[in-house]
């Protein structure tokens, strides 16, 4: 496929701006073509207008039609074959196996949403005939054009055709994607795949749009356009919070689903430290270093009570960290931020370096860091809870159970919390579990937070600052709820109602009829 | 019942402040006792802390326990008998029949939530065992302490034990209510009823708290307390927007459900104007004047195409407006704002006075106003779309169908839109319906927006500026979703899971098991 460097505005490929940038191979810091054209303000607003006019038609598509569209996107992505993986490897430094797996995840996400669209009950259709003079019927309907910000660390699964795109399109929204400048070619290839699927399934031009640009202005222009009705974002706290602030302070505030930063605390309970020391030392080291620590679910905080077992455990983790093979980070910026983050941590009172891996000479290749601090120091310094994106983790020794609960109570919001323990541990730490339920979106027992299954029950979200909206998830089928709102029809004739609300239930979906779940 | 004028802080009655105020009878502008003590900053924060510590216990209550609590509140409100109605009449000027009806609605709301708590499926329990290495289970859980702002215009149904209170308590949240200063005695009586129910059903002290005060600082102190996790509000645009801005700009932003202002546009289609002219003239006049126009669903904008029939219709409405009996408004402030709002409207270019009712001499008694403007003037002046709270409505003549759709496209968000027409009208105005679906929370065919049924399908909400969060409703059982977020449990032993997620489904609720709805 010949890459053009252009923006996707409805039917058009457009490049009227003068600012350009190129992809950079993080392995050797070499730029490579083509030149990408940062979208101008005018082009961005055109893209939003295309999304708006397409929305008027796209929102009328039924579940089967939208499912076929999502499946066609999946097919077209697979049809890109190795050229997608090769380009993506050059742009991200990520290994082939990982990217092939991520492509599978991306395709799987699209198919999961296709499944729930075909089934149809997700609209939460409700009909009341008893408690009113006239029929009251409601269901969820699409919000309108949505702005989506691709993430750097999942160039396929959280990018142009990632979870936000899949859930927004499933909901019936049209989209304007801001491609992540760290993988513009991958983005263009996937955009082409979506564009082919748009045509193949006769969706309106403008259902999908994509603009390029490393500058913050590109994103801000999307957020500020009054036709945009919601935002999906995965990235840094600074980036997500800036978008949130811009969106809620618009004349018309809109929902922002920003998944930002998380320390993913791990709690090692006494029984587990005794019985499964080696397993956990191995598993934790792997989880911290998976993908060079560039996962939003990387365990960055590890709590345990002081004990001889804990000391032995830490020694075992230390040995493993020393031998860790790390690799190239996604971008020079991420590499630099990681080094700065670790340096900053090491300057904080009480923080000690327990182990680091060996450095090899390649550019942007980092060292894994295992750090240590007491719970007193941790409790007195907010900075220690901040995410350091990359293969570093901070272990925090706590005096006793009471203090373990106390540090948990003082945690801010995170995506996940993991507990390692025996079943007896869990029973005697139920107060800790109760505390953590308020702090995270997902609680894991004897498992690592990295690896987020894509299914109906998954919640990838959590209280601020993990996300800007804890009421939703960015992974799993209930993510579709982020891009809809309920609309109520009172006393409407059957022929004017959407299929989901018609009397004879032609969509054959589960509905709440006078409070009872029926099909 | 002897009223004390004190604030409700957990178990305590507290009045440590020095600022006081009294209830005012709007019929004669006389103040009457007792003296109410505005809560101090310290008292407000104590109330929030009580709500926080109660939450740790209250959130563990099961559906039956919470249902019994809500039902006990309903019983205690009814047990107040006529003294509640009498006090409320003196504080609001609202007639006995209306307040008795509103009490019924308030009790009905509490019982509706009790029903869904007993049934239990509202938690949206989801279990996945197939698409993951370990079991993934999720359900909705309470957010934490919630701040609730009582409204002036529904002193029972949208106040201390109103919809927000019922849905937040049902969700498992504890609450701090800011009593509306226009009905402090009514608020205290209802607070006493809730307090009795707390004790009767052994709920933790601090589950319910209430603070008084006319000053904006009282509300701001609630919103800014970091322990508060969501806000429910019904009132003016200025009030709601100020609370929204404060809440989203906190260090930890929180959801704000503010129901603020709505013009509730009515569209009179040609067939209806021909066939049902008299009915609609009568019904519309009644709907505008119901409760002296002090409903958030009052139809404030009436659109129709120019025609002889339309002229005849307007004449009929005019005759009815002239003969309208209006009454006392809720407060002097609301009376003054109404007069100012109508005066401002009349000063706008193109706005004509069509009819007004006769004034009687009592204080705070207003005149109903029927106004008229062309669609060109309407489209060029945003101020004409703003809500005037009270018995005024603006009719807008539009040249033709095309222009009717155009004015609809230019509308901002409203709670409702009503269409009057024959079935043939609806068929030929489907483009208008499509436009209105994006503008409102509820679309009504041949009915008036006033009168909001409380059931499972009702949506009382809509796009900004009608509310600050169009994804929810403030009336109906799905309002419970506003005060929860999903929490996911991965690989947890059955005995550590909430009943709703246990393998054998002891709560006997509908769940989504590997994507299938099952009981």
pLDDT for B181: 97
CA–CA distances in Å: residue A308 to residues A274, A312, A313, A374, B374 = 10, 6, 9, 15, 83
B residues 476..505 contacting A (CB < 8 A): 477-478, 484-493, 495-496
The pLDDT-based confidence of B1 (bands split at 50, 70, 90) is: confident
B27 within 8 A of B365, measured Cβ to Cβ: no
Residues A366 and B268: their CA atoms lie apart, in Å, by 69
Residues B517 and B519: their CA atoms lie apart, in Å, by 7
Supply B231's token pair: 């806000």
Render pLDDT for B427-476 as a digit per residue (tens, 0 to 9).
Answer: 999 999 999 999 999 999 999 999 899 999 999 999 999 999 999 999 99
DSSP, residue by residue, B337-357? HHHHHHHHHHHSTT-EEEEEP
- Three-class SS state of A69: helix
Asked whether the bond before B465 is cis by omega within 30 degrees of 0, the reply is yes
pLDDT for B132: 67
pLDDT for B133: 74
Closest to A367 measured CA to CA, from A295, A301, A288? A288
B377 within 8 A of B348, measured Cβ to Cβ: yes
- Contact list in B for residue A459 (CB cut-off 8 A) is 138, 486-488
B265 close to A (CB below 8 A): no
Q: What are the residues facing B37 on neighbouring strands?
A: B20
A residues 47..76 contacting B (CB < 8 A): 56
Provide mean pLDDT across the span B376-404: 96
Residues B221 and B347: their CA atoms lie apart, in Å, by 38
Provide mean pLDDT across the span A68-93: 98
Render pLDDT for B214-233 as a digit per residue (tens, 0 to 9).
Answer: 999 999 999 999 999 999 99
A406 within 8 A of A267, measured Cβ to Cβ: no
Chain A nearest-CA distance from B408, in A, is 14
pLDDT for A360: 74
Contacts 24+ apart (CB under 8 A), B347-353: B348/B373, B348/B377, B348/B381, B348/B383, B348/B384, B349/B377, B349/B381, B350/B374, B350/B376, B350/B377, B350/B381, B351/B377, B351/B384, B351/B394
pLDDT for B502: 97
Chain B nearest-CA distance from A509, in A, is 10
Given a cut of 80, whether residue A358 has pLDDT beyond it is yes
Render pLDDT for A426-447 as a digit per residue (tens, 0 to 9).
Answer: 999 999 999 999 999 999 999 9
Given a cut of 80, whether residue A132 has pLDDT beyond it is no
Q: Tell me, what DSSP letter sits at residue A449? A: S
Q: In degrees rounded to 5, what are phi and psi of residue B403?
A: -70, -30
Q: Are strands B511-513 and B126-128 parallel, antiparallel or unpaired?
A: parallel
Q: In degrees rounded to 5, what are phi and psi of residue B358?
A: -80, 150
- Contact list in B for residue A118 (CB cut-off 8 A) is none
pLDDT for B122: 98
Angle, helix A96-119 to helix A163-171, in steps of 10 degrees: 10
Q: Tell me, what DSSP letter sits at residue A357? A: P
Q: Which residues contact A516 (CB under 8 A, 6 or more apart)?
A: none
Total residues found in chain B within this entry:
519
Given a cut of 90, whether residue B316 has pLDDT beyond it is yes
A354 close to B (CB below 8 A): no
B94 within 8 A of B223, measured Cβ to Cβ: no
Residue with tokens 């009819």: B355
* C-alpha dihedral (B482, B483, B487, B492), degrees to nearest 10: -130
B residues 425..444 contacting A (CB < 8 A): 426-427, 430, 433-434, 437-438, 440-444
Does the predicted interface ipTM exceed a cut of 0.90? yes
């Amino acid at each position: 496929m010949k890459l053009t460097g252009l923006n996707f505005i409805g039917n058009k490929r457009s490049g009227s701006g003068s600012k350009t940038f190129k992809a950079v191979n993080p392995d050797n810091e070499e730029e490579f073509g083509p030149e990408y054209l940062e979208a101008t303000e005018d082009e961005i607003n055109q893209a939003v207008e295309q999304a708006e006019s397409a929305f008027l038609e796209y929102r009328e598509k039924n579940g089967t039609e939208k499912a076929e569209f999502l499946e066609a996107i999946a097919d077209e992505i697979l049809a890109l074959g190795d050229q997608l993986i090769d380009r993506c490897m050059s742009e991200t430094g990520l290994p082939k196996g990982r990217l092939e797996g991520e492509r599978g995840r991306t395709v799987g996400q699209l198919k999961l949403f296709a499944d729930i669209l075909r089934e149809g009950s997700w609209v939460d259709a409700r009909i009341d005939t008893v408690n009113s003079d006239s029929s009251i019927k409601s269901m969820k309907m699409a919000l309108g054009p949505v702005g989506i910000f691709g993430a750097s660390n999942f160039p396929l699964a959280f990018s142009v055709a990632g979870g936000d795109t899949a859930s927004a399109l499933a909901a019936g929204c049209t989209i304007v994607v801001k491609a992540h400048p760290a993988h513009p070619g991958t983005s263009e290839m996937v955009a082409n795949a979506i564009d082919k699927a748009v045509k193949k399934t006769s969706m309106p031009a403008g259902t999908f749009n994509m603009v390029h640009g490393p500058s913050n202005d590109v994103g801000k222009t999307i957020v500020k356009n009054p036709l945009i009705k919601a935002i999906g974002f995965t990235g840094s706290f600074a980036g997500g919070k800036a978008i949130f602030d811009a969106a809620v302070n618009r004349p018309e505030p809109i929902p922002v689903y920003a998944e930002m930063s998380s320390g993913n605390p791990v709690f090692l309970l006494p029984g587990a430290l005794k019985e499964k020391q080696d397993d956990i030392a191995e598993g934790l080291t792997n989880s911290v270093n998976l993908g060079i620590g560039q996962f939003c679910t990387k365990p960055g905080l590890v709590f345990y009570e002081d004990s001889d077992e804990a000391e032995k455990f830490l020694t075992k983790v230390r040995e493993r960290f020393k031998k860790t093979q790390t690799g190239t980070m996604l971008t020079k910026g991420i590499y630099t931020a990681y080094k700065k983050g670790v340096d900053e941590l090491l300057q904080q009172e009480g923080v000690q370096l327990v182990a680091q891996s060996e450095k090899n000479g390649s550019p942007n290749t980092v060292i894994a860091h295992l750090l240590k601090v007491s719970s007193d120091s941790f409790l007195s310094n907010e900075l220690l809870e901040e995410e350091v994106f990359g293969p570093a983790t901070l272990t925090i020794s706590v005096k006793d159970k009471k203090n373990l609960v106390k540090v948990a109570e003082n945690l801010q919001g995170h995506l996940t919390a993991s507990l390692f323990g025996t079943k007896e541990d869990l029973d005697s730490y139920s107060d800790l579990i109760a505390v953590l339920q308020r702090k995270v979106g997902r609680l894991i027992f004897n498992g690592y937070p990295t690896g987020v299954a894509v299914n109906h029950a998954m919640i990838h979200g959590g209280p601020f600052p993990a996300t800007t909206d804890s009421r939703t998830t960015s992974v799993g089928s209930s993510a579709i709820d982020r891009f809809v709102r309920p609309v109520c029809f009172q006393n409407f004739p059957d022929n004017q109602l959407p299929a989901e609300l018609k009397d004879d239930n032609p969509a054959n979906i589960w509905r709440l009829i006078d409070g009872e779940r029926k099909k």
